Structure 1
Amino acid sequence: MDLSYLLTPLLAWLVAGSLKFLINSCRAGKPAFGLIGYGGMPSNHSAIVSSMAALVALKHGIDHPAFGVALTLAFIVVLDASSLRRQVGKHAQAINRLHDRAPDAAPSATPLRERMGHSLAEIFGGIVCGIVLACAVYAWMPLYD
């Protein structure tokens, strides 16, 4: 049984999430538990999908159909992280501003989360993290066919 297909995305999620927490904590000057969520460097989503695509490429080659599926999924996730979710964040900012200006707005209303999506640098950081982890798992775990 080849557990590398389970281990690789799990490690990518753990490492990218830990790096994101450390980077946010350094930027904030304190533990950044309040900044955990969508967005930030590196992108967890990009790390997870790129780790799987890289692992499939390493184990089976880029001409294998599974690599095409993994790469397609990676493109969809990266496009979602960079464009759609980023637009959702911009909409949240606009809605929060409208709420703040409304004279009859409920003061207890919780503002929408504005930090959504990723910059290109955050996505690139996630992709690099995922590929590096896939290479590490590939080098560490025996090849099963």
Structure 2
Amino acid sequence: MQLQISSGLLYPLLPFIAWLASGTLKYAINTIRHGQEARKLIGNGGFPSTHTAVVSSVAMLTGFDQGWSTPLFGLAVALTFIVMIDAVGIRRAVGESAERINALTLEISAAAETKKLRERQGHTRLEVSGGLALGMLLGFVASRLLV
């Protein structure tokens, strides 16, 4: 007996599943690499890119369900590209800027208590590729569950 889910339920559920799967995988990888420090690394940045996994999973599901040459699939792919470009471009630059600002703040006011800016914002191409692979896999699996 095969589990089947209606598309009306699967489309809004899949982004949550992708977010959960990516976050769990990211936490497991951070725990292996950084041990107890993994809790401090929860959030933006890291492998795999959760943003990319979320949008690419829905893009893949759309392709399998609605067709690869439909306007809806084209829109989903465009959104996926925007998210990936943003992750390796703008968000990564924000993280690098935060790192420099934190270093300057530390130099200027070493004695003062200042809250550091979060430096892990964007992603490397490998991290985005990992999110894309995870999202594509989840989109494929989800497409097999459609009624």
Name which of 114, 117, 125 aligns with 2:122.
Answer: 117
Q: Does 1:89 align with 2:95?
A: yes
What is the root-mean-square deviation in Å for CA atoms of aligned residues? 1.4
2:38 corresponds to which residue?
A: 32
CA–CA distance in structure 2, aligned partners of residues 106 and 75 of structure 1: 44
Separation in structure 1 between the aligned mates of residue 68 and residue 95 of structure 2, nearest angstrom? 35
Q: Which residue of 2 aligns with 1:135?
A: 140
Q: Show the counterpart of 1:98.
A: 104
1:31 is displaced (CA, Å) by 6.6
Q: Using the TM superposition, give the Cα deviation of residue 29 of structure 1 relative to its aligned residue in structure 2, in angstroms.
A: 2.3
Q: Which runs of 5+ in 1 are unaligned?
A: none
Q: How many residues align?
A: 141
User: In 1, Cα distance between the equivalents of 2:37 and 2:102?
Assistant: 26
Looking at structure 2, the residues matched to 108 and 140 of structure 1 have their Cα atoms a distance apart, in angstroms, of 53
The amino acid of 2:76's aligned partner reads A
Percent of matched pairs sharing the same residue: 43
Q: CA deviation at 1:105?
A: 6.2
Cα 1:106–1:65 shift into 2, 3 Å: farther
**1:53-79 deviation line (CA, Å, top 9, x unaligned):** 101100111211111111111111111
User: How far 1:106 moved relative to its partner?
Assistant: 6.3
- TM-score of the pair, normalised by structure 2: 0.90
Alignment deviations for residues 14-66 of structure 1 (CA, whole Å, 9 cap, x no partner) = 10010000000110123721110110110000000100110110011121111
The residue aligned with 1:22 is 28
Amino acid at match of 2:145: W
Structure-2 change in CA distance of 1:11 and 1:141 (3 Å): same
2:3 aligned residue: none
- Partner residue, 2:82: 76
